[in-house]
Amino acid sequence: MTDTMQQLKQFFHEQEDLRVFGMNGSKVNPNIPEDKFKDYDVVFFTTDLEKYIKNASFLNKFGEVLIMTEPENDPVCPNELLKGKGYVYLVQYVDGLRIDLQIRLLETLTDYLAEDSLTLIIEDKDNLVKDLPILTESDYYLTKPSQLQVENSITEFWWMVPNILKATLRNQVLLAEFYLRLAREEVIQAITWTIAAKEGWDKNYGKEYTHSLNYLDKETRAQLSNSFVTGDSYKILTALREMIDLEERYGDMLVVDFNLDQEKYGEYKKIPYIYLKSKGESILAETFKKEVS
């Protein structure tokens, strides 16, 4: 048992109001190899929530705090799951330890057990938890999109292309980068959907689809990486071309897999050329020209 786990258990037993100690996240996921970057996702269930909201000094028991955030203090994005019945401290310690710690009212225990299929009960003073399901990644499996979702994703990518071009030609680099990021999200989603159509939907493709890279060949990974190399107008346009090539390739596969209108989405490939021509940017337009039958 690690020192951190011992400290967490000791703290749990020292506080009479704490009744159940749960964990989830990568630390309890047997499919994620142990490494030095894994965090502790901890949940304590209490009969006295205010005690921990009013005084956060208990967090110092686990080390010297480097930085900490409290999501429930954000008036714009409070944690909807907690609904005033819990509080969260996200804590990074000087020694590298990170603990994402929830304190929740005991009455929310049943809801918590249904929230995450990667849930492990560490301690239960009152034997309240019965028949906890076996740990599984099922809550993190990729949901197969509907035909409409795929259509919307492809359309969203091509809708962003004129926005990227306009901002770039205006030398509005920050705005162009913003639109480029939105378009890239659609590309990565298209890639992941295509992979899942072949490899299976009942898999965890990782946060922000990061495990999708494992299924790509070296050239495609390099192409995707090149779409992140930006910072000036020339690099943004180069990145956009890489993304367009990827969207065309994987979008074409999705069109077939989901039985979409091939002619309609084939015409989308002409959008950069048509848009640039409409703005009198004929030379640049030629570099985006597509012959689509």
Summarised one tens digit per residue, pLDDT across range 16-52 is 999 999 998 888 777 777 778 889 999 999 999 999 9
Count of C-beta atoms within a 10 Å radius of residue 30? 10
Residues 144-173 pLDDT 10s: 999 999 999 999 999 999 999 999 999 999
Q: Please work out, in degrees rounded to the nearest 5, the angle formed at the alpha carbon of residue 170 by the alpha carbons of 164 and 171.
A: 85
pTM above 0.85, yes or no: no
Buried b (16+ CB within 10 A) or exposed e, 39-78: ebbbbbbbeebeebeeebeebeebbeeeeeeeebeeeeee
Q: State the fold for domain 147-286.
A: Four Helix Bundle (Hemerythrin (Met), subunit A) (1.20.120)
- Give the ranges where 170-287 is alpha helix by DSSP (H): 173-199, 218-226, 233-257, 262-268, 271-278, 282-286
174 within 8 A of 224, measured Cβ to Cβ: no
Residues 66-112 pLDDT 10s: 999 998 877 665 555 567 789 999 999 999 999 999 999 999 998 88
pLDDT recorded at residue 25: 82
Q: What is the mean pLDDT of the chain?
A: 90
CATH number of 3-140: 3.30.460.10
Instruction: Please state, for a pLDDT cut of 70, what percent of the chain lies above it.
Output: 95
Q: Which residues contact 55 (CB under 8 A, 6 or more apart)?
A: none
Mean pLDDT of 232-244: 94
41 within 8 A of 207, measured Cβ to Cβ: no
C-alpha–C-alpha distance, residues 26 and 98, integer Å: 12
Domain ranges across the chain: 3-140, 147-286
